[in-house]
Structure formats: structure tokens, C-alpha cells
């Protein structure tokens, strides 16, 4: 996948779901989740979404 492609609503939702799972496993705090999920919903490209999850296992983009 190209990293500079515009992100879809479904990709934003998938990113937020991954962030929520990271909270559930203790990898992110609730505060980090809140910050990153707000950025996910504002993201325009896949690379912006990727930056939010690159430090988590199972990186998508």
C-alpha cells in the first residue's frame, strides 16, 4: 500500500480500534488513546494514521 494515499473513514476507524486494543493490553494509557484517536479522526492520509500506531505490534500501513 502507498503511504501517501488519502485515508478512508474505515481506515480511521480501524486505527482507533487498534488504539483501543492497545489500551486494553496496557500498551497505551487512556490519555494517550484520547490524544491519538483525535489525531486519527483528523488524519487525511494513511501515513498520518501509520504514525499513530508505528510503535505498536502489528503495524498496518
pLDDT score of 43: 98
Cα distances from 8 to residues 45, 48, 54, in angstroms, run 8, 12, 18
Confidence class of residue 2 from pLDDT cuts 50, 70 and 90? low
Question: 41 lies in a domain?
Answer: yes
Domain that holds residue 40: 9-53
Cα distances (angstroms) measured from residue 50 to each of 18, 25, 37, 55:
11, 19, 12, 9
State residue 3's pLDDT score: 55
- Is residue 61 one of the residues assigned to a domain? no
Q: What is the pTM of this model?
A: 0.88
31 grid coordinates: 490519555
- Does the residue 34 lie in any domain? yes
H-only helix segments in 1-45: 9-24, 30-42
Residue 26 belongs to a domain: yes
Confidence (pLDDT) at 58: 78
Domain count, the chain: 1
Each residue's pLDDT tens digit, 4-61: 899 999 999 999 999 999 999 999 999 999 999 999 999 999 999 999 999 999 755 5
- Tell me, yes or no, whether 23 lies in a domain: yes
CA distance linking residue 27 with residue 42, whole number of Å: 22
Amino acid at each position: 500500500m502507498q503511504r501517501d494515499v488519502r485515508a478512508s473513514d474505515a481506515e480511521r476507524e480501524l486505527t482507533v480500534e487498534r488504539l483501543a486494543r492497545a489500551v486494553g493490553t496496557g500498551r497505551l494509557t487512556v490519555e494517550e488513546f484520547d490524544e491519538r484517536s483525535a489525531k486519527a479522526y483528523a488524519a487525511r492520509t494513511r501515513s498520518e494514521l501509520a504514525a499513530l500506531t508505528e510503535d505498536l505490534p502489528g503495524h498496518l500501513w
